[in-house]
Amino acid sequence: MDLYLPIAEVSVNAPLLVALGAAVGFISGLFGIGGGFLMTPILVFLGIPPVVAVASEANHVAASSTSSVISYTRRKAVDFRMGGVLAAGGAVGSFLGVEVFRWLRLLGQADLVVSLSYLVFLGVIGALMLWESLGSILRRRRGGGAGPRRDRRPPWLYGLPLKMRFPRSRLYISVIPPVLLGVFVGVLSAIMGVGGGFILVPAMVYVLRMPAGVVVGTSLFQIIITTSLTSVLQAGRNQTVDVVLATLLLIGGVLGAQVGARASSRFRAEELRALLAIIVLAVGLRMGLGLFFTPDEPFVLMAGNG
Amino acid sequence: MVDALPPPTPSQAPAAAVSAALTTTSVKVTSSFRGARIVLYGAVFDPAARPSDVVVIVRGPDAPLRIARKTKVAGIWVNSRPVVFEGAPGFYMTASTRPLDQIAGFGPLRRLGAGIDHLAINAPFEQRVETRYGVRDVVVSRLGADYLDWRRAVVRLKQNAGLYAADDRGVTFVDRGLFKAEIDLPTAAPIGVYTAEIILFQDGHPVSRRLRGLTVEKVGVERALYLFAHQRPWSYGLASVVIALAAGWAASVAFRRN
């Protein structure tokens, strides 16, 4: 059953999009991420204009994250204060990101920046995550202990001013690192059409040293706020949110996220991380390597108004 | 609407004329839109029954477009500065009884803008007028010798998107003097006012011409959503976010009950 999208102005297969939304939602619930880094490239591959894909996907990420965050809230696995600080940065970041994206479109360089961002961020994070999770799987197989504890917290985290207590994360740190992290993720959210969970989760674990139990829930909470804001800003400034496309995706997405969240308890954390790392790495390489091959068609058409 | 061009060579027989009508004058884009077929019927009135050729040109609304060329910079392929081209219709399709270059020569086709090769597509912002070799008012394009490559690329990319085409068997005579043409609009056809121009050629010259209008418009839900998104963009954005958050919450509540 084909459906014509009013903003994207292309015709898509509706059941296919619902199924894709469900599949990405499942992955999202399983790993506690938004899933935008998977969905945006798929939409572009299906022929949706990239600007519409990026903006509508922010909406889909907001929906599937809401679907999974509620169960984390019930388990008290969300640090709302930390999430709020991150989201304050995220708000500034999405505002900047939407403007940067507008400017890049005018320059005709939006595609390049999106591809490079995927290659660099997904490539680096995927590789680091794979290395780390394979390491812990190997340590477990060898029957060694829990491995070297990483309790040494970096001194700069404590030396900065504007300290704040985060009781649920058992932290007393400066708000500057989380705000900057939020800004960074907000910019990426607008440019790449992602929630930024794949950056937030490792950054919370390795930079902010938050307890693993609250990381995923807090990341989802911050993603909801940032992507909701991005979605409103993209609609208001660029008129690129396709509500029909977003609705098709989120019908599958919210259901898939619930199933995924249930399935996640059956796997070991490091095995899940290794699997996620492989997916992240594959998407990053697929998106980025195109930049190095000689294109079949040396010219690209763009809309007249940018 | 009638715009009969005088035959270049006066002859004894009365001038031939062409007449045509579209079977639909408005294409409605609904949620099930998957392109449309436009059917045109017409007749050639010529008491002298001279050999006639009919050319049908369907043009969509003009929209400026930008095109960039990929160049290799430090090992990666990067878009060049985009170049704005004007005069390129959003949709352009010709249908004719024979290939256009067999129907008429370069001059008449160029004057009528008939055929993809004769479209007045240019890059006005890249042009400047200067004096060269003592000749004043020479139009020089900043794109230099590559200019034709750029123009050809515009046409090629539009053709690949199914928006430009030439069907040199697209007009068929179904009966004496009565012809039929079919033109397929792809899903990607732009919204707006289209014109269908029907030209009768005899002996390599345009003899008679008719113009017919056609609109492609969004209707119903598609139109309402499009207008909402463009006229009240902030409310539209808020509404779409509310739908997303409500759906997420509803799914989580529904699954908790199970």
Average pLDDT, chain B: 84
Alpha-carbon A237 to chain mean position = 22
The reply to whether B164 touches chain A by the CB within 8 Å rule is no
B152-198, pLDDT tens digit by residue? 888 898 898 889 999 988 899 998 889 999 998 888 888 899 999 99
Copy the structure tokens of residue A94: 């999405």
Rounded to the nearest angstrom, the minimum Cα separation between A43 and chain B is 16
A162-219, pLDDT tens digit by residue? 777 777 777 777 788 888 989 998 898 888 878 888 888 888 887 888 887 788 888 8
Q: Which of B72, B76, B241, B242 to mutate to test the interface with A (most CBs of A within 10 A)?
A: B241
* For chain B, domain boundaries: 15-218, 219-258
A47-88, pLDDT tens digit by residue? 888 888 888 988 888 888 888 888 788 877 788 888 888 899
- Tell me the CATH number for domain B15-218: 2.60.40.3880
Q: Which residue has the higher pLDDT, A71 or A97?
A: A97
Judge: A4–B67 Cβ closer than 8 Å, yes or no: no
What pLDDT does A157 receive? 65
Alpha-carbon B123 to chain mean position = 18
CA distances from A134 to A30, A271, A284, A298, B49 (A): 19, 8, 19, 41, 84
Rounded to the nearest angstrom, the minimum Cα separation between A70 and chain B is 7
Nearest to B188 among A10, A67, A71 (CB): A10
Nearest to B212 by CA among B242, B233, B181: B181
CB A185 within 8 A of CB A85: no
Q: Which of A7, A9, A233 to mutate to test the interface with B (most CBs of B within 10 A)?
A: A9
Band (pLDDT 50/70/90 cuts) for residue A306 is: very low
Nearest to A7 among B150, B226, B243 (CB): B226
Chain A segment 38-97 residues within 8 A of B by beta carbon are: 59-60, 62-71
Phi/psi of residue A10, nearest 5 degrees:
-135, 165
The residue-averaged pLDDT of B47-73 equals: 87
List CB contacts (< 8 A) between B253 and chain A. Answer: 70
Band (pLDDT 50/70/90 cuts) for residue B127 is: low
CA distances from B135 to A200, A301, B31, B129, B138 (A): 64, 35, 57, 11, 7
B26-55, pLDDT tens digit by residue? 888 888 888 889 899 999 998 888 888 999
List CB contacts (< 8 A) between A244 and chain B. Answer: 31, 225
Judge: B32–A70 Cβ closer than 8 Å, yes or no: no
Furthest C-alpha separation in chain B: 90
A234-254, pLDDT tens digit by residue? 888 888 899 999 999 988 888
A25-42, pLDDT tens digit by residue? 888 888 777 788 888 888
Nearest to B247 among A109, A239, A250 (CB): A250
Nearest to B70 among A69, A234, A295 (CB): A295
- Separation of alpha carbons B220 and B226, rounded Å: 10
What pLDDT does A64 receive? 85
Q: How many CB pairs under 8 A join A and B?
A: 190
Rounded to the nearest angstrom, the minimum Cα separation between A75 and chain B is 13
Nearest to A67 by CA among B250, B257, B238: B250
Other beta carbons within 10 Å of A212: 11
Judge: A67–B77 Cβ closer than 8 Å, yes or no: no
DSSP H or E run through B59: strand B53-59
Q: Which of B121, B252, B256, B257 to mutate to test the interface with A (most CBs of A within 10 A)?
A: B252
Average the pLDDT over each of A85-94, A189-198, B18-27, B141-150 and give the range with the smallest value.
B141-150
Q: Which of A69, A232, A264 to mutate to test the interface with B (most CBs of B within 10 A)?
A: A232
Residue B138 in this model has a pLDDT that exceeds 80? no
CB A281 within 8 A of CB A47: no
A128-157, pLDDT tens digit by residue? 888 888 888 888 888 755 545 555 566 666
Helices A50-74, A14-31: crossing angle, 10 deg rounding: 40
Read out DSSP for B79-116? E---EEEBS-BS-EEEEESS-HHHHS-HHHHHHHT-SG
Nearest to B67 among A69, A109, A302 (CB): A302
What pLDDT does B56 receive? 94
Band (pLDDT 50/70/90 cuts) for residue B1 is: very low
User: Ranked by mean pLDDT, which of A103-107, B70-74, B84-88, B197-201 comes out on top?
Assistant: B197-201
Band (pLDDT 50/70/90 cuts) for residue A304 is: low
Quick one: closest CA in B to A111, which residue? Answer: B79
Alpha-carbon A28 to chain mean position = 9
Chain A segment 267-306 residues within 8 A of B by beta carbon are: 291-295, 297-306
- Separation of alpha carbons A265 and A275, rounded Å: 15
Band (pLDDT 50/70/90 cuts) for residue B232 is: very high
